[in-house]
Amino acid sequence: MRGVFRVNPMEVWAVPVALFAVPPHAGLAALVRSLVVLAAVAACPVPASAEVEVDVELVLAVDISQSMDEEEQRVQRQGYVAALKSKEVSEAIAEGINGKVAVAYVEWGGAAEQFVVADWQVLDGPQAAASFAERLAKAPLRTVQRTSISAALVFAADLFDGNGLDGYRRVIDISGDGPNNQGGPVTESRDAILARGVVVNGLPLMMNASGSWYHLPNLDHYYEDCVIGGPGSFLIPVRGLDGFADAIRRKLVLEIAGRDTGPARVVPVAARPPVACNMYD
C-alpha cells in the first residue's frame, strides 16, 4: 500500500493543551520536552486513501473489428465467460500472495473505438469471478470497423491510472485477428507502455484463412515481433474455434499465476526474418 505524510494544523493544535503547558518555573528542559512532543505529533503519518492490494491488475482487451464474424465474436465471448468460471482460474487466484486479482474487460476496433464492457472488479474467489463473467455474458455483442492495436493498447494502459488498486503486476491481454491498420505505429505505443511497467501478452486469432488483405498467414509472428513485450510476456495462438476456450483459460491461468509459460510455441525471431511491423500503418 502506498502512503504519504499529511499534517492537518487544526488536528495538531487540537492535542490537549496540557501536553504543551510549561509552568514558568519548569525551566528549559521542560520546554524542550514539550517541543519534542509537538514535533512528533506533527510528523505522524496520515495514510492516503487505501488502495486494494492485488496480485495482478489485468486488462482483457478484445478485438471486435469487422473481420470477426458473428460466430467468432460469440465463441470469443463465451470463451472468456467459461474461463473466468473455471476451477483452474479460481485455483490460480487462490494461490496468489493476496488471493485477489483485479480484472477489466475492454472491446476495441478502430482508433477511436474502445468500449469498457466491464470495469474493474476484484476477484477473490469463485463467486466474484462468476459475477464478473455474468456481466460479460449479459453484455450485447457489437462490431466496429478497422483494427487499431496501437490505440487499444494506450486505452488499456490508461485504465491502470487512478483505479484504486495496487497490483504487483500490471498486464494487458490483447487479442486480435489482424495487424494494426489505424492509429499510428503499434511499436511506438507498445514501447511507451512497456516503459510504464506494463506487460503486454497476446492472443493472435488465426481461425480465418480467407487470405483477405487484413489477414496475415503468420499473425503469431507479427504479435511476437510487434505487439507483446515486458518481463515474462508471451502469446498463445488460436487456430480454430474449437480451441478458443482452452486457449483463453490457459492464458488467464498463466497471467494470474505469473508463471513461466515453458518452451516457446512460436518460431523464435532468430530463426526467421523479422516481421515489418508498419506494413499496414
pLDDT of residue 207: 79
Q: Which of 27-31, 39-43, 124-128, 172-176 has the lowest mean pLDDT?
A: 39-43
Across-strand partners of 118? 105
Which secondary-structure segment (H or E) carries 121? Answer: strand 114-123
Residue 123 Rama label (left phi>0; alpha psi -120 to 50; beta): beta
Q: What percent of the chain has pLDDT over 90?
A: 59
Nearest of 52, 55, 74, 76 to residue 254 by alpha carbon: 55
User: For residue 155, how many C-alpha atoms fall within 13 Å in the half-sphere facing its CB?
Assistant: 24
Cα-Cα-Cα-Cα dihedral of 193, 120, 247, 139, to 10°?
Answer: -120
What pLDDT, on the 0 to 100 scale, is given for residue 217?
A: 81
pLDDT at 156: 98
Contacts of 125 (CB under 8 A, 6+ apart): 90, 93, 94, 99
Mapping DSSP to helix (H, G, I), strand (E, B) and coil, where does residue 199 land? strand
Decide: helix, strand or coil at residue 9.
helix
pLDDT above 70 (res 263): no
- pLDDT tens, position by position, 3-16: 333 333 333 333 34
Region of poorest pLDDT, from 45-59, 100-114, 221-235, 265-279: 265-279
Residues 71 and 240 sit within 8 Å (Cβ to Cβ): no
Check pLDDT > 60 for residue 100: yes
* N-terminal to C-terminal alpha carbon distance within the chain: 41
Domain boundaries, the chain: 1-50, 52-271
Confidence of residue 67 (pLDDT cuts 50, 70, 90): confident
**What are the pLDDT digits (tens) for 174-206?**
999 999 999 999 999 999 999 999 999 999 998
Q: Is 259 helix (H, G, I), strand (E, B) or coil?
A: coil
The structural architecture, per CATH, of the domain 52-271 is 3-Layer(aba) Sandwich (3.40)
Q: Residues with Cβ < 8 Å from 51, sequence gap 6 or more?
A: 1, 2, 164, 165, 166
H/E stretch holding 189: helix 186-195
Residue 202: its pLDDT value, please?
A: 97
If one compares 53 and 257, the residue with the highest pLDDT of the two is: 53
pTM: 0.79
- pLDDT band (50, 70, 90) for residue 20: very low
The per-residue pLDDT for range 210-236, each reduced to its tens digit, is: 545 556 788 999 999 999 999 999 999
